[in-house]
Amino acid sequence: MSLRVLVLNGPNLSRLGVREPEIYGTATYDDLVRACQETAAELGLDVDVRQTNDEAELISWLHGAADTRTPVVLNPAAFTHYSYALRDAVAMRTAPLVEVHLTNPAAREEFRHTSVIAGVASGTIAGFGLDSYRLALRAIAALLAAGSR
């Protein structure tokens, strides 16, 4: 039996491929899901990839992950910059959690430079498109192998 990892995606990520392709590229959300599934299989992990535009739903998923000690790859999207409620949910984590972004927020508009999530995550990977997710899953596997929270 493989270890379950949640890959949680915040607002607008379901619009990949049509939303500002000059910024986010042409890969679709289905491509993102497939990349996560393929990488997880290579690592012996089982992924549950989810997306929501609802902050409350995302928080509930994080609570569930904390309650079950489930590792998480989290792309908080716009919630990254201002959701203290999401930050507080991440702070309750009981397993590794890697914040991930398709683009590099530090190289974008100034309001995107601050992550309220980064300080309570195990780490952050940003700027590598779908490879950000592949790298995050590899980081989760390495953290679990090292016994890290």
Query: What are the residue numbers of the active site?
Result: 24, 101
| Rounded distance between C-alpha atoms, residue 36 and residue 8, angstroms | 11
Residue 9: beta bridge partners? Answer: 51, 75
| Rounded distance between C-alpha atoms, residue 86 and residue 91, angstroms | 9
Task: Please indicate if the annotation marks 103 as binding a ligand.
Answer: yes
Helix locations, 44-149, DSSP H: 55-67, 84-91, 130-145
Task: Please indicate if the annotation marks 112 as binding a ligand.
Answer: yes
Task: Please indicate if the annotation marks 81 as binding a ligand.
Answer: yes
Task: Please indicate if the annotation marks 80 as binding a ligand.
Answer: no
Task: Please indicate if the annotation marks 94 as binding a ligand.
Answer: no
- Binding positions for substrate are 75, 81, 88, 102-103, 112
- Binding positions are 75, 81, 88, 102-103, 112
